[in-house]
């Protein structure tokens, strides 16, 4: 299957150049204005991948999420996209998180699915719960509890949560306000892929689509310090009724699926764009910050057959622009941040790869094919050595920002891009 995909991708570069050009010509007048979705909007998200190394059996998960826009009703999305068997959810609840695994007394709400308190999710499927009345403030933490009465088999989850969640001992603890039953900690989000709120007229969402730098790798756990979180705080302070839904996957690439040895890097960006961007309820904009791994991973993993040129990267980005415009979303391009000399994988950084980054960034800045640009590169680079991070923003590996770097990225966003 992977050989077929590789052959398809190689043969598709030229075809996509033409297709992308035609698609962009078709939307030269700009995307259809956003019209809303009866007040419902995604307020939190996490892109799932498959994990065969873990499963749950007669246990309850308590998953902590940090919403970016509040509302008066809540519903959730559950995914069994990578399961190889039906997933039974015996009970589900949502409430306001107090601290740790505890829930604010009186805030717990039982969730149903088509009126049923339980549901069996087929392999490959996603389900949406019925809405429940729960007043949620912007920036609040929610606790979503899922009782899994039977062996789940392989888990569909988001690996890099940078947020502590919890697992109970045996039995159904979904309705417990007390955090005591949840003794085991998690730093992933199993099965939960989205939270939506009824936020009223005019509410909308910005989706951030990227790799580990969007996923917040190296940010401090439990602080919501990723650059999309920083952007969300600024939007909240501005009074804009805009959520930020983070769909970064650490290690992700635009053109190639995860290496077999590291499946948590996920499906290629072209493949997951429909699920992770176009399907987000109430999305009006997407910020794309992706392709640094397309540049660096082939050399680091000694996979020359996966190398892509700057032009091929641009072809792929044009595809995202065309597909988003066709669905009425505006597309903001983020320039690629410095990575000289990434010390996590020899061969990732080379002078040739730096030239690719510069070429892609020059196109993002000057092509006017995006509806707007965020110059993350300019916001984080060292003026004295522009191929490197400013030392104050470097996490230490020379590829990922630290908390201060992520804040600088969030601060670099002109909020008028979302008007």
Closest CA to 403 of 187, 263, 219: 219
The number of domains in the chain is: 2
Residue 285 lies in a domain: yes
| Per-residue pLDDT, 308 | 98
Residue 109 lies in a domain: yes
406, 278: one domain: yes
Cα 15 to Cα 135, 200, 273, 375: the distances in Å are 49, 43, 19, 30
90, 149: one domain: yes
Give the pairing of strands 109-110 and 132-136.
Answer: unpaired
Cα 227 to Cα 247, 260, 289, 401: the distances in Å are 12, 29, 11, 9
| Per-residue pLDDT, 166 | 99
Profile the chain (419 residues) by mean pLDDT over runs of 10 residues: 39 39 36 59 98 96 99 99 98 99 98 99 98 98 99 98 98 97 98 98 98 98 98 98 99 96 96 98 99 96 96 99 99 98 90 98 99 99 97 97 99 98
176, 283: one domain: no
Question: What range does the domain containing 412 cover?
Answer: 2-30+203-418
213, 88: one domain: no
Residue 45 lies in a domain: no
- Of 160, 195, 230, at which residue does a domain stop? 195
Based on the number of CB atoms within 10 Å of its own CB, is 305 exposed (0-12), middle (13-18) or buried (19 or more)? Answer: exposed
| Per-residue pLDDT, 413 | 99
- Of 195, 220, 254, at which residue does a domain stop? 195
| Per-residue pLDDT, 37 | 53
349, 216: one domain: yes
386, 315: one domain: yes
149, 226: one domain: no
Q: What is the CATH number of the domain that holds 6?
A: 3.40.50.1110
Residue 44 lies in a domain: no
Model pTM score: 0.91
* Rounded-to-integer distance, Cα 70 and Cα 337, Å: 32
20, 55: one domain: no
| Per-residue pLDDT, 13 | 40
- Of 195, 230, 245, at which residue does a domain stop? 195
Residue 37 lies in a domain: no
Residue 40 lies in a domain: no
Please count the other Cβ atoms lying within 10 Å of the Cβ belonging to residue 389: 25
77, 146: one domain: yes
């Amino acid at each position: 299957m992977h050989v077929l995909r590789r052959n398809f991708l190689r043969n598709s570069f030229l075809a996509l150049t033409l297709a992308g050009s035609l698609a962009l010509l078709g939307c030269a007048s700009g995307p259809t204005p956003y019209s809303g979705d009866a007040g419902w909007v995604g307020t939190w998200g996490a892109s799932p991948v498959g994990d065969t190394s873990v499963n749950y059996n007669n246990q309850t998960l308590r998953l902590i999420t940090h919403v970016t826009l509040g509302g008066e009703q809540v519903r959730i999305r559950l995914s069994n996209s990578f399961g190889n068997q039906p997933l039974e959810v015996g009970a589900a609840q949502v409430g306001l998180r107090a601290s740790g695994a505890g829930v604010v007394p009186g805030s717990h709400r039982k969730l149903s699915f088509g009126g049923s308190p339980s549901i069996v999710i087929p392999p490959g499927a996603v389900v949406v719960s019925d809405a429940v009345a729960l007043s949620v403030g912007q920036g609040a933490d929610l606790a979503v509890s899922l009782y899994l009465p039977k062996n789940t088999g392989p888990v569909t989850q988001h690996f890099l949560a940078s947020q502590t969640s919890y697992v109970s001992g045996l039995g159904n603890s979904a309705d417990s306000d007390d955090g005591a039953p949840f003794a085991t900690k998690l730093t992933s989000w199993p099965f939960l892929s989205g939270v939506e709120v009824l936020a009223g007229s005019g509410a909308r969402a910005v989706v951030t689509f990227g790799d580990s730098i969007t996923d917040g790798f190296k940010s401090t756990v439990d602080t919501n310090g990723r650059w999309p979180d920083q952007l969300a705080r600024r939007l909240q302070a501005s009074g804009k009724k805009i959520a930020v839904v983070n769909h970064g996957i650490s290690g992700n690439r635009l053109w190639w699926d995860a290496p077999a040895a590291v499946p948590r890097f996920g499906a290629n960006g072209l493949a997951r764009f429909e699920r992770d961007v176009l399907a987000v309820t109430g999305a009006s904009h997407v910020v794309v910050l992706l392709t640094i791994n397309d540049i660096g991973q082939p050399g680091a993993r000694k996979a020359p057959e996966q190398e892509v040129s700057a032009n091929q990267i641009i072809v792929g980005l044009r595809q995202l622009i065309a597909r988003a415009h066709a669905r009425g979303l505006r597309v903001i391009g983020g320039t690629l941040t410095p990575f000289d000399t990434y010390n996590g994988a020899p061969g990732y950084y080379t002078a040739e790869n730096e030239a690719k980054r510069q070429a892609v960034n020059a196109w993002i800045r000057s092509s006017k094919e995006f509806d707007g640009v965020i110059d993350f590169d300019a916001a984080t680079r060292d003026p004295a050595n522009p191929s490197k991070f400013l030392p104050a923003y470097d996490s230490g590996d020379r590829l990922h920002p630290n908390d201060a770097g992520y804040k600088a990225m969030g601060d670099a966003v002109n909020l008028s891009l979302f008007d």
